[in-house]
Structure 1
C-alpha cells in the first residue's frame, strides 16, 4: 500500500512542481501516518544574538507569534499564547507551547498536525512578533530593588522591537549605587522544563569599550543581582557615576556630616552637572562639606572618611585626600555620594599653619560672612567676648571692627585683635595663643608669631578663627624700642592712644597720638610749654598692668632720639605733668604774700579815688 502511494507521488513530480507541493503535504486521512522524524522546521526570530551568553527565547502567556505552514496559507496566521501557555490553531485546536523555544514550538505544532492526520511532513515556521511584557526581579546594589514589568521597545516602521536589556532594567530600578560591582553582574534565567541558568555579565566593559554584547537582553522571569564591590575604586568612581544606568545625579539625597565641620548633622544636598567638572554642583564630598557650613581650621582634609552602608548590611569605608584636590586638581578625591552616606572629617593631629592658610580659600571653607563668637584677652585695649565677621577692618582704639568695602576675607587673629581695640605696647606678639575646642571637646592651643607676619610677610601666622576660639595676647617681659615702633605701625595696633598732658602747656588736657609715640610728641600735641614751664624735667605717671602706679622724673632732651631716659615711649592713658619753673614758683609765692597787702591798700585809697572822680 505504501508503494501505491509513492508511485503517484513520483509521477506528479515529473510533471509539475506546483502540484508536487500541494499533493506532497495533503494526506488521505485513511492512509496517513505520522512522520515526525522527517519534519523540517525553519526557525526565524526578530531577536538578534547578544553574545555567547544569549539563550533562545522561551514562549509564555502574552507572546504574539506567527505560525506559517509552507504553501498552506489557510493554516497560517498570527496567534497569541493564551494564559494557559497554549496556541489555538486551525483544525488541531490547542497546542501547548509555554516554556518552549520557537524551534520547540514549531516541532510541537508540526507533530500535532501530523498526529492528527491533517498534514503529512508539514514544514512549520514560528516567528515571534511581539513578546509579552518582561517580568524581572532586581536585587543588590540598586536604589530601588524589587519586581518590575518591562515592555518591548517598538521598532521604527514596523511591528515588534527589541527586548529590554540589563542597562534598561537598572535604569528602571533607579540606577546602581556607588558600591556596585559591575564586573560580576549575575542573571538567573529559567530554561525549558524547569531548569535554571546563571549568566555572569561584565557591564564594566559596556562603560569602558561600548561593547553592547555584554548588555544582555532579558527574558520573562529573569532575576538580576548586582553584587557589592569589595572596595571603592576612586579612579573608576567618576565613570561609574556617569553611566546611563547610574543613579540620577540631580535628585536630592540625605547624608550625615560629622567631625570638624561648622554645622555637623544631617543635611540634604542636590547635585546638578557632570562628574569631574569643577564647581558643577554634584552631590560630592565637597558639596556635603559646604552644606555643613564648611570645615573647621583643625580639619584633617587628608583623611576624610566616607562611610557607606551596602544593601547586604555591611559598611564600606573609603578615605579621600582633599588636599590632593586642592593642590593637584585630583577630582577623583571628590567622591560622588549616595543617599545615606556619612562623611567624617577628623581632627588634625598636628597643626600646620601653612596648610591651614591654604584652606581659607577652598570652596568648602566656612562662609566668610558668617559671624563668629570669640573671646580676646590679655594685652589688648578692650579684652572680652566679641562677635567678628570677615568684613572687619583695621579698627581704632574704641571702635569694635566695622564694615569695609571689597571682597570679604575670613576672620583671623589680627582681625579679632583689631575688634578688641588693638594690642597694647607691652604685648608679646611672638607668642599669641589661640585656644580652640575640637569636635570631641578636647582643647588645642595654637601659638602664632605675629612678628613673623610683620617681618617676613608669613600670612600663615594670621590663623583663621572658628566659633568659640579664645585669643590670648601675653605680656612681654622686655621690649626692644626699635621693634616697638614696627609693632605700633601694624594693622592690629590701635590707630591712636590717649595721653593726658597737664600743667604748664598751652592746651592742657587729653591728646591723641599714634601708638608708641615719644613723650615730646604728646607735649607738642598739647601746644608746647608755656613761658612759666620747667622745660628741663617733667613727671610721667603710668598705670601698670599689675594695677600699681609708677612716677618717673624725666630729664627732657628733645634733641635725643626715642629712649627711656630722655624721651620715653608713651602708653595709653599715661599722664604727663609739666611743672613750673623756679622763677615762676618765686613769683607765685610773692603774689600769694603781697596780694592781701595790695587788697588793703586798695580799700584805703578807694575814697580818694572816688573823690578824684567828682573833682
Structure 2
C-alpha cells in the first residue's frame, strides 16, 4: 500500500467513515460494568427513581431490595433482575423498570502502540467493533503504524489473541475480522516494518517497507543512485533464521524483506 493510500485510509478511519460503513453483522448488547453511571426508574413509582454507579463488585444498592448484582448484565437483563426482586418482595405488583445508561466507564479498551491518541477508551455501544475503537484513537500513524493490528483479551474465559490486517480486510471486502470488542481488550498497533539503504545513494537511511515492495522500488525511496553508484554493485544483507547475516546479489524485481539492508557499492569504471 502506498503512502498516499495509507494517508487516505488513515483519514477515513479517523472520521469513522470506513468503520461505520463496514460495521455489519449480529448486534451485541452492551454489558454493564464497574463505574457505569445509570438511572433506574419504575413506572408510576417516582420514589424509586435512583441515579447510581455500578460498584467494583458489580452490585448496585437499590431502595427496598438492597444490593442487586448488575455487573455483566445487559440493560434488558438488569431491568428484569430489579423487576423480579421488586415483585418477589411484594413491593410492586407489576413493576415496569427502566434503566438509562448515563455514563460509560465500566467497559474500556486499551489502545496502545503507533496510534495518534493512545489510551483507554470506553465502549459506548454494545456492537462497538475493532475499527470503531481504532477510529476513536485517531487511527494508526500513517508513517509508522503497521497494517496488522493485534487484538488480545478474554473470550469465554480463555485468553484470546488475533492478528488482523486492516487494509487487506477492506480491500477484499471481508469484514468478518472486524469483530466486536469487549471490556478489557487491548488493541496494539506495532511499528511498521522497515528496511535500510546506504552506500552510493542520494538519501540513505531507514524507510517504511510497503507490502510487495521490490528492490527497484526500494532504491527509488532513496531518490536513486549517486553518479558513483552502480546497480551491479547492489547487495542485500539479510539475517537468516539461524541469526547469521547472508549477503545476496538481488534482481531488481526481487521483494525486499523486513530489516533488509541494501548496500550500493561504488563503481570503479
1:52 alignment counterpart: 25
Quick one: distance in 1 between partners of 2:138 and 2:238?
A: 25
Q: Please give the alpha-carbon distance, in whole angstroms, between the structure 2 residues aligned to 1:130 and 1:213.
A: 30
Per-residue CA deviations over 1:174-212 (Å, capped at 9, x if unaligned) read: 569565446xx5453456xx5666778663366437898
Contact in 2 for aligned 1:66/1:76 (Cα 8 Å): yes
Aligned to 2:201: 261
Change (3 A) 1:179 1:206: closer
Distance 2:62 2:76 in 1: 17
Tell me: CA distance 1:69–1:206, structure 2 relative to 1, closer, same or farther (3 Å). Answer: farther
The separation in 1 between residues aligned to 2:203 and 2:166, in whole angstroms, is 40
Report the secondary structure of 1:300's partner residue: strand
Q: What is the alpha-carbon distance in structure 1 between the residues aligned to residue 139 and residue 120 of structure 2?
A: 9
* Closer/same/farther in 2, CA of residues 75 and 262 from structure 1, 3 Å limit: closer
Query: Do the aligned partners of 2:59 and 2:71 also contact (CA within 8 Å) in 1?
Result: yes
1:289 maps to 222
Alignment partner, residue 91 of structure 1: 64
For residues 262 and 200 of structure 1, what CA distance do their matches in structure 2 show? 37
Asked if 2 retains the 8 angstrom alpha-carbon contact of 1:305 and 1:344, the reply is yes
Answer yes or no: is the 8 Å Cα contact 2:36–2:104 preserved in 1.
yes
Q: 1:65: Cα distance to partner?
A: 2.3
Q: 1:149 to 1:179 in 2, by over 3 A?
A: closer
5+ residue gaps, structure 1, are: 1-48, 154-159, 233-253, 276-283, 323-332, 348-437, 439-443, 447-615
Given the superposition, is the C-alpha separation of residues 175 and 190 from structure 1 closer, same or farther in structure 2, using an over 3 Å criterion? farther
Supply the distance in 2 between the matched residues of 1:114 and 1:138 (Cα, whole angstroms): 43
Contact map agreement 1:166 1:215 (CA 8 A) in 2? no
SS at match of 1:100: coil
Q: Cα 1:90–1:187, aligned 2, differ >3 Å: closer, same or farther?
A: same
- Per-residue deviation at 1:221? 0.5
1:63-84 superposed Cα distances (whole Å, 9 cap, x missing partner): 1223343443332344322333
Out of 219, 224, 249, the residue aligned to residue 182 of structure 2 is: 219
- Correspondent of 1:344 among 247, 259, 262: 262
> For residues 143 and 226 of structure 1, do their structure 2 counterparts lie closer, same or farther at Cα, with a shift above 3 Å needed?
closer
Q: Give the superposition deviation at 1:97.
A: 1.3
Distance 1:102 1:213, change over 3 A: farther
1:148 matches 2:96: no
Q: Which residue of 2 aligns with 1:168?
A: 135
Cα pair distance change 1:110/1:214, threshold 3 Å: same
d(CA) in 1 for partners of 2:227 and 2:166?
41
How far apart, in 1, do the equivalents of 2:105 and 2:191 lie? 32
Corresponding position of 2:9 = none
Q: Is the CA contact (8 Å cut-off) linking 2:29 and 2:127 kept in structure 1? A: no
Question: Structure 2 vs 1, CA of residues 179 and 195 (structure 1 numbering), >3 Å: closer, same or farther?
Answer: closer
Q: CA deviation at 1:149?
A: 0.9
1:105 partnered with 2:78: yes
| Bigger RCO of structures 1 and 2 (CA < 8 A, at least 6 apart) | 2
What is the alpha-carbon distance in structure 1 between the residues aligned to residue 90 and residue 77 of structure 2? 20
Question: Is the contact made by 1:180 and 1:228 (CA closer than 8 Å) also made in structure 2?
Answer: no
Q: How does 1:393-542 map to 2 (within 5 A)?
A: 438=266, 446=269
Q: Highest CA radius of gyration, 1 or 2?
A: 1
Q: Deviations over 1:465-506 (max 9, x none)?
A: xxxxxxxxxxxxxxxxxxxxxxxxxxxxxxxxxxxxxxxxxx
- Give the Å deviation of 1:216: 4.5
Is 1:122 aligned to residue 91 of structure 2? no
Q: TM-score when scaled to structure 2?
A: 0.56
Which has more strand, going by share of residues? 2
> Paired residue for 2:108?
135
Q: In proportion to residue count, which structure has more helix?
A: 1
CA change 1:67–1:259 in 2 (3 A) is same
> What SS does the aligned partner of 1:299 have?
strand
Query: Does the Cα contact within 8 Å between 2:42 and 2:97 map onto a contact in 1?
Result: yes
Residue 344 (structure 1) shift: 0.8
